[in-house]
Amino acid sequence: MAVPEQWRQDEWEEASRFGFVSAGGRSPSGRLYSRGLHRLRVGDRIWVHAPGRGYLGVARVAGPPAPLDEFVIRDGGAERKFTEVTTVGWHGTDKGEGVEHFVPVQWLDRIAVDGDPFNEAGLFGNQNIVVQPQDPKWLHTIERLKSVFPSWDVAGQT
């Protein structure tokens, strides 16, 4: 899974803390970035990549996508609307199809909020929000990611 190239530190801090990935807005050709999120299924393992930066971590999908105004997180043991706790101006339009959508995840392993994304020559990368790679580079990339994010298979999940 790729996150928008303009992913900022404050966005990563909230995604890491509250357990989610997101996409919103439209490409220059009008394609909705959030559309790919609807291909994710609860239980899917996703490797989260910030194009131009590197891999941020690995997570399990914990729920379906929800638009910004409907997304609920757990904060201090209580459920709250994300719009009540966020301090970030999330991209995407405020209304309509281009609004930012969020997918709740359980992080299995991830970089520290102030850490550097994992990147090195030869790793698979793609600008699409959700991909199922067939490229031979993907096998090499998975082996490297497993070594960098050793909790990728928490509790023996596949």
Q: How far apart are CA 156 and CA 21, in angstroms?
A: 23
- Measured between alpha carbons, how far apart are the two ends of the chain, in Å? 17
Q: Does residue 4 form part of some domain?
A: no
Q: Does residue 25 form part of some domain?
A: yes
Between the ranges 58-62, 87-91, 139-143, where is the mean pLDDT highest? 58-62
Question: pLDDT band at 16, cuts 50/70/90?
Answer: very high
Q: Does residue 101 form part of some domain?
A: yes
CB atoms < 10 A from the CB of 71, how many?
22
Q: How far apart are CA 109 and CA 75, in angstroms?
A: 20
Q: Does residue 3 form part of some domain?
A: no
Neighbour-count burial of 55, counting CB atoms closer than 10 A to its CB (0-12 exposed, 13-18 middle, 19+ buried) = buried
Q: Does residue 140 form part of some domain?
A: yes
Q: Does residue 97 form part of some domain?
A: yes
Quickly tell me which residue has 């530190």 as its tokens: 9
Q: Does residue 112 form part of some domain?
A: yes
Q: What is the pLDDT of residues 109-134, one digit of tens each?
A: 999 878 889 999 999 887 778 888 77
Residue 33 confidence (pLDDT): 81
**Which residue range is the domain that position 38 belongs to?**
9-149
Average pLDDT, the chain: 85
Q: What is the pLDDT of residues 132-158, one digit of tens each?
A: 877 888 889 999 999 999 999 875 444
Q: Does residue 65 form part of some domain?
A: yes
Q: What is the pTM of this model?
A: 0.86
Domain count, the chain: 1
